[in-house]
Amino acid sequence: METETTRQRIAEALREDASTASDLGARLSLPTPVVYDHLDHVSQSVGESDGTERFLVAPPECRDCGFDGFDDPVNEPSRCPECKSERIAEPRFVIR
């Protein structure tokens, strides 16, 4: 019987290695949009801990023009606001 919550499993995975939401979804058998919902909560709970850990995000990046100034890095944008390309690399998350 599993005793860890989904958010605890996501946090533990991010403590082991940086991952995208797609990576986490495949690893934990969850749909990617569900992972994004949980990541928002995981980021808040890590920030509320004793301060020894940080939730870090490598923001999404446009593969065509390199733009990485997206408003919400804990989200998967559908297109680049600069060049309108839909070739966006997913953000990567890690807890250190």
pLDDT tens figures, 16-37: 999 999 999 999 999 999 999 9
Q: pTM score > 0.95 for this model?
A: no
Residue 18 lies in a domain: yes
Per-residue three-class SS string for the chain: CCCCCHHHHHHHHHHHCCECHHHHHHHHCCCHHHHHHHHHHHHHHHHHCCCCCCEEEECCEECCCCCCCCCCCCCCCCCCCCCCCCCEECCEEEEC
Residue 26 lies in a domain: yes
Residue 89 lies in a domain: yes
Residue 1 lies in a domain: no
State the total domains in the chain: 1
Q: Which residues form the domain of 43?
A: 6-95
Residue 83 lies in a domain: yes
Residue 86 lies in a domain: yes
pLDDT in tens, 58-83: 999 999 999 999 988 888 899 999 99
Residue 90 lies in a domain: yes
